[in-house]
Chains A and B, each alone.
Chain A
Amino acid sequence: MIRVDGLTKDYGPRRAIDNLSFHADKGEIVGFLGPNGAGKTTTMRILSGYMPPTDGTAIVAGFDVVEQSLEARARIGYLPESVPLYHDMSVFDYLKFMGDLRQVEDSAERADEVIEMVGLEDRVDSYIEKLSKGMRQRVGLAQALLHEPEVLILDEPTIGLDPAQILDVRKLIKDIGKERTVLLSTHILSEAQQICNRVLIINNGKIVAEDTPENLKAHTTGKEQFSLEIDGNDDGLAKVLEKVAGVEKVTKVEDGKWMVESATGKDVRKELAKAVVKGKFDLVELRQIDVNLEDIFLKLTKNEEPGEAE
């Protein structure tokens, strides 16, 4: 559905994206993660047919976005990052206008349908100017769904929404993603973890990691980590912990707080607990540290070469 090969875009002397290659298939929700300025928006703009790449190809829904731009555009639903909307139109008029522009049959009826999908029935006749940011975001999403596109490209679809709306929109995207291809960018790693089948991490215009959220976790950390909290005196605890079979490293974080590492897949919690109690320490907490995408993300995007000035 989306096939990107060697995609490169230069803005003058600055290279925004560098030789990107990836794909997304039908029924897949692919998350595009990366710090600001990593090239997410540039990539999405190229895929949506807004701007041509400097080099490389992008095939969306079977059509080259440069050579067969109109055919590709007809099959793409696109929500740009800044959610541009005509503020001087009502929600219904705007969606009907975009429907007509996309030659949707029964555009008025279809406008009502998408308004219902995003839950804006009570604001049909409100001017977009008067809507809150979250509501505008939903109007933008409705616009992207108007023509029942095969591919959805959503640039930060949940930004600016309140927690309840975020859940609604995520659910909506998940539903849509069952039959279509969704490429979405986000800053929120837990979001990618929850709704994406696959995650692409991009930094400085290059893909630095690509996998399912689960696999990414397993590959990047390489160690199981446990945190311990001791009440009162913890002198000599290091020795006790180091003796436990499977423990590879013991670190004191602060008074009463310790961190223990073991090899991947080795859960040493039971042994740790026994050892601590046997050593007459007062154990108040013992838990496995769940490595989240945040850590992976930071780890992968941190190692920028210093002095690489733009």
Chain B
Amino acid sequence: MSKIWTIARREYRLYFATPVAYVVAAVLLFVVGLIFYSAVEYGANPQNGYVPGIDQIYPAISFILIFAVPAITMRVISEEHRLGTIELLLTAPVKDWEVVVGKWLGALLFILTTIALTFVYPMYLNNIVVPGIDQGPLISGYLGLVMLSSAFVAIGVAVSSMFNNQVASLFASMGIFLVLWWLIGIPAQLSTSGMSEILRYLEFEGHFSSSIRGVINLGDMIYFASITLFSLVAGSVSLETRRWR
């Protein structure tokens, strides 16, 4: 079995041994369910022919991820440093980047498992709407969520590799998510020309919104993949640098 997979599997299982998994899954399902319910119950309007679509739940899920991902990733490497177990990983014949990628994969699989549970809502909607829901936004929306989670989790793991303290990594990654999600939009609109374009490119929401509308945009996929790759490299470098401390 590959070393990365060994680390990922341990991470993944660990979430289910702690209340974290159940709390995060419960909150996600509850909040998304509430939004979904109001959309279906009050949003449907036979007069103007509006039919509630599945696109309602994506912003809700992505919003919760901003808080759920830091809660999931804060401990992945911070705790290893605090408990000293990092010494076991770093003296095993495993490359530093394999540790980081293993941690990322485990946490990502857990987040995706939780997101997969929200699939009950489109399935339910598909049963009550005639002639069924639009498949396009369903596929593109969930693909967008996978890519978004991948980038979020990678950032969370990288941040976790920099702190011994879990709360510090929790707030640091949450701060990064909030900035990349919204706050970066303000200077992006205020500043002019070149700078504005760079900032707008970095903004998460813009890249995610196309997938909600049912468009799979290669550029957006590359954006999320680049963020993921960049963060995993940063996490590996941080882990390696700490050996020299």
Contacts and interface: CB of A to CB of B under 8 A. Distances in A.
Contact of B88 (A71, A76, A84, A88): A84
14 contacts: A50-B243, A52-B243, A70-B94, A80-B87, A82-B84, A84-B86, A84-B87, A88-B18, A97-B10, A101-B3, A101-B6, A101-B7, A102-B92, A103-B3
A70 B85 contact: no
A261 B86 CA distance: 53
A171 B169 CA distance: 45
Please name the 3 residue pairs, one residue from A and one from B, whose CB atoms are nearest each other, closest first: A84-B84, A74-B93, A100-B6
A109 to B, nearest CB: 15
B1 interface: yes
Interface in A92-151: 97-98, 100-103, 143
Contacts of A45: 87
B91 A48 contact: yes
B95 interface: yes
A101 B94 contact: yes
Contacts, number: 62
A45 B87 CA distance: 9
Interface residues of B, number: 24
A8 to B, nearest CB: 14
Interface of A: 45, 48-52, 70-71, 73-74, 76, 78, 80, 82, 84-89, 97-98, 100-103, 143
A50 B91 contact: yes
A88 B11 CA distance: 11
A77 to B, nearest CB: 10
A76 B87 CA distance: 13
Contact of B83 (A51, A52, A84, A103): A84
B14 interface: yes
A70 B88 contact: no
Given A80-B87, A86-B85, A98-B92, A51 B244 contact: yes
B112 interface: no
Contacts of B95: 70
Contacts of B88: 80, 84-85, 98, 143
Interface of A, secondary structure class, is loop
B17 A88 contact: yes
A73 B84 contact: no
Interface string B52-91: 0000000000000000000000000000000111111111
Interface in B88-119: 88-95
A279 to B, nearest CB: 63
A45 B7 CA distance: 22
Given A49-B91, A97-B10, 14 more contacts: A50-B87, A71-B93, A73-B93, A78-B87, A78-B91, A84-B84, A84-B85, A87-B83, A88-B17, A101-B7, A101-B94, A102-B92, A103-B3, A103-B93
B91 A76 contact: yes
Interface string B221-245: 0000000000000000000000111
A247 B86 CA distance: 59
A52 B241 CA distance: 11
Given A73-B91, A98-B88, A100-B1, A51 B243 contact: yes
Contacts of A82: 84
A175 B94 CA distance: 29
Contacts of B244: 51-52
A50 B225 CA distance: 31
Given A48-B91, A73-B93, A103-B3, A80 B243 contact: no
A76 B84 CA distance: 18
B90 A50 contact: yes
A94 B87 CA distance: 15
Contacts of A143: 88
A259 B86 CA distance: 53
A86 B86 CA distance: 10
A9 to B, nearest CB: 10
A100 B91 CA distance: 14
A88 B243 contact: no
Contacts of B6: 97, 100-101
Contacts of A49: 90-91
- Interface-centre pick from B7, B87, B92, B245 (highest chain A CB count, 10 A): B92
B237 to A, nearest CB: 15
Interface centre among B83, B87, B245 (most CB of A within 10 A): B87
A148 B78 CA distance: 30
B186 to A, nearest CB: 41
B102 to A, nearest CB: 9
A85 B87 contact: no
Nearest to A96: B6
